Structure 1
Amino acid sequence: MDVIMNFEALIDSQLIYLKQLARNYTSSEMAADDLFQDTVVRIWSNQDKFEMGTNFKAWSSMIMRNLFINDYRKQKKRRNDSAYYDEEKIESHIENSGEQKMIYDDLLNEIHTLATNYSKPLELFYEGFSYREIAEDMGISIGTVKSRMHSARGYLKQRLAS
């Protein structure tokens, strides 16, 4: 019981600091309140991981920082996902499929002029294979796959710009 009261006193001593820190991380008051509340919940749920006598301010600040970063990454991923599936983009893709097919065919023709060591990784990548899968398929390292794709893209960029 005494440990819980000491932990509660530690939290109480940092509430003002944590609220201000949340405001510094976010751009709106509502987002700051959410971050602050999530941090306090996370602090309470992880109190067994805190060692008494260590720097509580730094520990609680790190929890808030990690929550903020994780939320930022989730929001960024959601924005990217929703932008990909945006109806306007899907509709414009359908409307311009002939033009895009011509561009894609021209690009494929240029890719086929490359040596197989350079064209195969590009083709596999654009078919949806990961670098790891391409490396396994070709029997080379992932670094080699990335290097060949970089070189091939540079060559294609030069060829298509002229």
Structure 2
Amino acid sequence: MKPAISPAMDPAERDQEFIRLLTAHQGPVLAYIRSLMPGFTGASDILQQTNITLWKKKEVFELGTNFKAWAFAIARNHVMDQRKKLKRNGWLVFSEDVAELFAAEAEDDDLDQDESFRALEVCLSKLRAHDRELVQKRYCESVTLEEYAGQLNRSAGTLKARLFKIRAGLRRCVDRQLQHVSP
């Protein structure tokens, strides 16, 4: 087991351990942000703001505390700040009660996030190249379906329907992968 950050560590060793923890939790923190802001294309920006805050506050991380819970709390604060900005600018956002439900559900999720991400990686690798590219454009890049459809000379509706089928297939594949992992 890797050491947790403690004040007794050499500063360079503390930084190295903090970077390891930060890197190891990028996927779960991004998934948490996306669960709080479904459909919001700026989730990676919120992740970066969260990373900056985590780095600035790294000295307060204590031995024996849960890094993931700490990172989720900071991410949640950034999400709430973003929600306020969107609301001020006239965007329709979920009510605070609905956001609280999303947060509670994401925090209480009893599936091991690492296993889920590994299963998703396996399933994504099984996709045909053009389907994998569609998923990447939609969820990893700041490209709207309409823009990508224009690049391919296809309709956005066609891509939306294809994406629906891909997601359903990925969901089934991930479920099968996790069944093989579970005791």
- TM-score computed with the length of structure 1 as normaliser: 0.45
Determine which structure has greater relative contact order: mean sequence separation of CA pairs < 8 Å that are 6+ residues apart, divided by chain length.
Answer: 2
Larger Rg computed on CA atoms: 1
Structure number with the higher helix fraction is 1
